[in-house]
Amino acid sequence: MEFTREGAALVCRRLGETLVLEPWGRNALRVRAAMAEAVEAEPWALTETPETSESEIRIGEEGASVSCGSLRAEVNAFGVLSFFRGEKLLLREFYRNYGGTISRESRCLKLVSREWKGIVGGSEHSLTVRFESREGEKLYGMGQYQQPGLDLKGCVLELAHRNSQITVPFLLSSLGYGFLWNNPAVGEARFAKNRTEWTAAATRKMDYWITAGESPREILENYTGVTGRAPAFPEELLGLWQCKLRYRTQEEVLSVARKYKAEGIPLDMIIIDYFHWTVQGDWKFDPRYWPDPGAMIDELHRMGVKVMVSVWPSVDRRSENFAPLWERGLLMRTERGAAQTYDYQGDCVQIDLFRKESREYLWEVCRRNYRDLGVDGFWLDNAEPDLGVYDFDHYRYAKGSALSCTALYPQLFSRAFREHMGPEAVNLIRCCWAGSQKYGNVVWSGDVPSTFEAFRDQLTAGLNMGLAGIPWWTTDVGGFMTDDVKDPYFRRLLIRWFQFSVFSPVLRMHGDRGPHDIPPLDDRDRGGGYLPTGQPNELWSYGEEVYAILRTWLERRLRLRPYLAELYREASLTGAPLMRPMFFEFPEDRRCWELEDQYMLGSRYLVAPVLEAEAEAREVYLPAGRWKLLSSGETYEGGRTYRFPAPLEEMPVLERADV
């Protein structure tokens, strides 16, 4: 192994591999490698230029080290890396080859820490990076995977996006470090008992970043310092957002907003879902059912209601924009056979947002047809992008094979809008990647079923998204897919989900409500008239008993506005999420590292969602201190578990009484 110092970086070369370790932020190092003389400088998620801790490089006969603040990396003669905070080992690469491990113990498995395999006919490699597993370690973050377990130890996670699955490859460890897999390639993360493995199906370089910290709060602050933080969130959007599948006409939208006004219920945002357009890729209102959208928007604004419209990245061959996009090479390509990439309600191809020209084209059409009419925000749906088949080796962008870069697509989708809309703009999006938090996205958890099992998964999703640096998060109240709105099971679910959403970053009504027995508006094969619409989904749509409970909880949400505004400001300043696992606020309490079904909203409120259909009570652990139950005003001493009543109209929420 040859060691050299190049500027602030330690560079190591062996067997054709170049390994670069560079101080990068507070108590943090960036680690890159390639089977080449030099490593590409693509930043991927590491877009910020943070203040970097004091660093030092030492080169000796048996190895070398580089430190940045409290984090130190040591490289041995075989190029194997170990990371320390002081004398505490945080993470070590896995190596079982002729020549031994770090301790020189001889083994013949021929497993190396960084395994490169050339892709026949291409310039890229498949890559596997291995680390030793640590007994007792707990792992969190990584974005959104539909599963109930918060601790990811033992999980296998696909590094690719799908509807309701969002890979944000930042990991927070209970051992006191954070780890970013800074690579948008399709791959896999395996957090097994015997070792941890990260794979990339096609890449030109290894790139990861690691930081050390005394607490989860400090680790997340370090991470968002190098990837960016969410901007300021408008206080006028902290109340209720209203949506359903689908408002088909401008009169339907206006009638809903007028009734909210008549009922005396403040409405912050109304969202117009898909196929208000003619065909996918036209990105404009269908004039048959939206004859004067400008007048509609003006009336909504006079009522104090913001307006958001759905935009998909798919372009139908019948669209007026297909030919110019196709001729200019601004659409995705396929590697084999037909050019189609998406087949819902038309023969479609996604726009290639890796091209700046594509992003400018998309924005210009949406500016002309929406923004100039007064539209306040965009619902960037199908942002993964949604594909007819998830065969990533079949698709290609201007940047390269989808295998090498597709995870970055939703971030580029959001940037196409955010970079033109100004600092106050807020858009809703179904997917994101590391660093997306700085582009003004409210990320929602996708088209999840209307079941208590799915509801439980959303709690985990929201918490791990926050730990991956994405503080603006929401979910469809009641889930997306409902068979029968009159089913008592669904109505209980809706109430429990609404209670949870009141104490989440964004409160948003949405869903496809069955039965689908509402006749279509017409039988044309384009425009939104022929497509089905779900049952009404407003607060009053589920009977007087449900309406009364939802109104009571909405009033609690409105009283939370000043506190929520404080939390959004904190997220913007430090990267702290609004929804926090218990250990985020109480890292010294080992019990809090075990809790997965309750959480903190900021530092003040402990929230215990009711996650079972027939439950009328639930157990809640209170950390040390004094706590006040909001429903009764009674106070309780912490350090123990209580069983609180939870009738349908109540969810246990406790406020810290000693802060």
The DSSP 8-state label assigned to residue 294 in this structure reads: H
297 and 381 belong to one structural domain: yes
Q: Is the peptide bond before 246 cis (omega within 30 degrees of 0)?
A: yes
Provide the phi-psi class of 345: left if phi over 0, else alpha when psi is between -120 and 50, else beta: left
* pLDDT tens by residue, 244-281: 999 999 999 999 999 999 999 999 999 999 999 999 99
Task: Report how far residue 583's alpha carbon sits from residue 594's, in angstroms, rounded to the nearest whole number.
Answer: 8
218 and 248 belong to one structural domain: no
Query: Which residue, among 120, 124, 267, has the nearest Cα to 201 in the 3D structure?
Result: 124
Q: What is the CATH number of the domain that holds 214?
A: 2.60.40.1760
513 and 569 belong to one structural domain: yes
Residue 109: per-residue pLDDT: 76
Q: Which residues pair with 200 in a beta bridge?
A: 127, 187
In a domain, 150, yes or no: no
Torsion angles phi and psi, residue 170, rounded to 5: -115, 130
* pLDDT tens by residue, 43-56: 999 999 989 999 99
Tokens of 105: 């113990």
- Residue 372 to residues 297, 314, 366: CA-CA distances in angstroms? 11, 22, 9
* pLDDT tens by residue, 227-247: 999 999 999 999 999 999 999
Contact 291, 254 (CB under 8 A): no
Task: Report how far residue 646's alpha carbon sits from residue 639's, in angstroms, rounded to the nearest whole number.
Answer: 21
Contact 406, 360 (CB under 8 A): no
348 and 299 belong to one structural domain: yes
Residues 33-43 have a mean pLDDT of: 94
**Candidate from 111-125, 236-250, 335-349 with smallest mean pLDDT:** 111-125
627 and 546 belong to one structural domain: no
* pLDDT tens by residue, 195-221: 999 999 999 999 999 999 999 999 999
pLDDT at residue 121 greater than cutoff 90: no
- Residue 320 to residues 323, 526, 529: CA-CA distances in angstroms? 7, 13, 19
Contact 248, 521 (CB under 8 A): yes
In a domain, 583, yes or no: yes
Q: What is the CATH number of the domain that holds 306?
A: 3.20.20.80
**H helix or E strand, kind and range, residue 85:** strand 81-85
pLDDT band, residue 99 (cuts 50/70/90): low
Q: Is the peptide bond before 515 cis (omega within 30 degrees of 0)?
A: yes
pTM of the model: 0.97
DSSP string for 391-429: -GGGEEETTEEHHHHGGGHHHHHHHHHHHHH-TT--EEE
Q: Answer yes or no: 381 catalytic.
A: yes
Tokens of 614: 């027939």
Q: Which residues pair with 21 in a beta bridge?
A: 10, 31
Residues 577-584 have a mean pLDDT of: 98
**Candidate from 101-110, 306-315, 631-640 with smallest mean pLDDT:** 101-110
Residues 542-554 have a mean pLDDT of: 98
Residue 98: per-residue pLDDT: 56
pLDDT band, residue 466 (cuts 50/70/90): very high
In a domain, 89, yes or no: yes
Residue 343: per-residue pLDDT: 95
Mean pLDDT of the chain: 96
Catalytic-labelled residue, pool 151, 221, 286, 447: 447
Residue 214: per-residue pLDDT: 97
Q: Answer yes or no: 207 catalytic.
A: no
DSSP string for 495-525: HHHHHHHHTSS-EEE--EESP--SPPS---S
Tokens 């130190």 sit on residue: 72
* pLDDT tens by residue, 78-88: 899 999 999 99
Catalytic-labelled residue, pool 381, 512, 538, 650: 381
In angstroms, the first-to-last Cα distance of the chain is 55
Residue 123: per-residue pLDDT: 84
Tokens of 399: 């940047």
Q: Give the domain-ending residue among 574, 604, 625.
A: 574
In a domain, 593, yes or no: yes
Residue 659: per-residue pLDDT: 76
In a domain, 78, yes or no: yes
* pLDDT tens by residue, 509-535: 999 999 999 999 999 888 889 999 999
pLDDT at residue 181 greater than cutoff 80: yes
pLDDT band, residue 423 (cuts 50/70/90): confident
Task: Report how far residue 178's alpha carbon sits from residue 212's, in angstroms, rounded to the nearest whole number.
Answer: 6
Residue 213: per-residue pLDDT: 98
Q: Give the domain-ending residue among 209, 227, 245.
A: 227
Q: What is the CATH number of the domain that holds 615?
A: 2.60.40.1180
Task: Report how far residue 404's alpha carbon sits from residue 295's, in angstroms, rounded to the nearest whole number.
Answer: 45
Residues 312-326 have a mean pLDDT of: 98
Which string of b and e fits 475-505 if b means at least 16 CB within 10 Å? bbbbbbbbeebeeeebbbbbbbbbbbbbbbb
In a domain, 264, yes or no: yes
Nearby residues of 155 by Cβ (< 8 Å), 6 or more positions away: 145, 147, 149, 191
119 and 201 belong to one structural domain: yes
pLDDT at residue 129 greater than cutoff 70: yes
537 and 649 belong to one structural domain: no
Task: Report how far residue 513's alpha carbon sits from residue 535's, in angstroms, rounded to the nearest whole number.
Answer: 5
In a domain, 91, yes or no: yes
623 and 545 belong to one structural domain: no
Q: Give the domain-ending residue among 186, 211, 227.
A: 227
Catalytic-labelled residue, pool 273, 384, 512, 538: 384
- Residue ranges making up the domain that contains 195: 2-134+175-227
495 and 623 belong to one structural domain: no
pLDDT at residue 456 greater than cutoff 90: yes
Long-range Cβ contacts of 94-102 (<8 Å, 24+ apart): 94/130, 94/131, 94/132, 94/195, 94/196, 95/130, 102/76
330 and 345 belong to one structural domain: yes
Q: Answer yes or no: 384 catalytic.
A: yes
Tokens 């009141």 sit on residue: 502
496 and 588 belong to one structural domain: no
- Cα angle, residue 152 at apex, residues 656 and 205 outer, rounded to 5°: 120
Residues 281-294 have a mean pLDDT of: 97
In a domain, 169, yes or no: no
Torsion angles phi and psi, residue 314, rounded to 5: -90, 145
Strand ordering across the sheet containing 166-173: 2-6, 9-14, 17-23, 28-34, 206-212, 177-181, 166-173, 139-144
239 and 365 belong to one structural domain: yes
Residue 108: per-residue pLDDT: 64
**Candidate from 106-120, 148-162, 367-381 with smallest mean pLDDT:** 106-120
Strand 125-132 to strand 195-203: parallel, antiparallel, or no bridges (unpaired)?
antiparallel
| Structural domain count, the chain | 3
pLDDT at residue 137 greater than cutoff 90: yes
